[in-house]
Amino acid sequence: MSGWRLALKASPALRVDLRGVTPAALASMAPAEVERLPVGYGNTRVALAEFFSLSPHPEDDTLDFEGDLSRFDRVGCDLAGGRIRVEGSVGHHAGEGMRAGELLVKGSAGLLAACEMAGGAFTVQGDVDDFAASTLPGSMDGMRGGTFVVMGHAGARFADRMRRGSAVVHGDAGDFLASRMVAGTVAVGGRAGAHAGYGMRRGSLVMAAGASSVELPATFVPALGAADVFWQLLARDLARHGGPFAGLAQRRIERHLGDLSADGKGEILIAG
């Protein structure tokens, strides 16, 4: 069966939970079943067709949303394959726990975007709010795999407790960037707020905008050994994201190790 286009009728009065609305879930449904699919609306559940006009999509495994979905949460939650594209912004928890597939948001995203993401590719062409690529409240594991790209700016606690994968911000990032990071790669094209790398255990934080873009914590120290081969591999991988990362392989780096206050062995790499 082909995919689906869902065009927003009107912005809802309450927040709507779209978990479970994925290409795989809709693939085996008849049009009438898709229209009746229940979604969370406040303390109740209502049919998907209450909010969207539905029409077939010519591309298989594809789900397109048209309209501003700022009041719609968990878009792409637990996505395990196929493609979801949103012609506008989305609410909170977008891409939560996604394991495979592609999620493209052509606007901005709310809180906890890509939280506990484990695979796939998630791109936000606007900004993301606090706790993106991080952990759910009460959980110990943040982003666990895949590639998360933010073309705009990111809020506070970006990549908190991140364990694996790549998280890239073309613009600025807020306070506590890569806090309590366990592993993986975070790259920022603009400036970082206070306390970057707080409690960092392992992993790499790349600051593409140079020394003025980050205030190094006192618990990070200059590295004595060179890492030229590793840097060339990492820089070439980041270059595919373009923008501030395009020419990283031709630039030298300052490498700082920490967070020593947490016995960490992570690194902050500052492009010169």
pLDDT tens across 96-135, in order? 999 999 999 999 999 999 999 999 999 999 999 999 999 9
* pTM of the entire predicted model: 0.97
How many Cα neighbours within 13 Å face the side chain of 4?
24
pLDDT at 102: 98
Report the Cα 267 to chain-centroid distance in Å: 21
Is pLDDT of 242 > 80?
yes
Q: Give percent of the chain with pLDDT exceeding 90.
A: 94
Q: Distance (Å, rounded) from C-alpha 264 to C-alpha 259?
A: 5
pLDDT at 28: 85
Please give the angle made by the CA atoms of 225, 193 and 93, to the nearest 5 degrees. 105
| 96: its two tokens | 């939560």
pLDDT at 1: 52
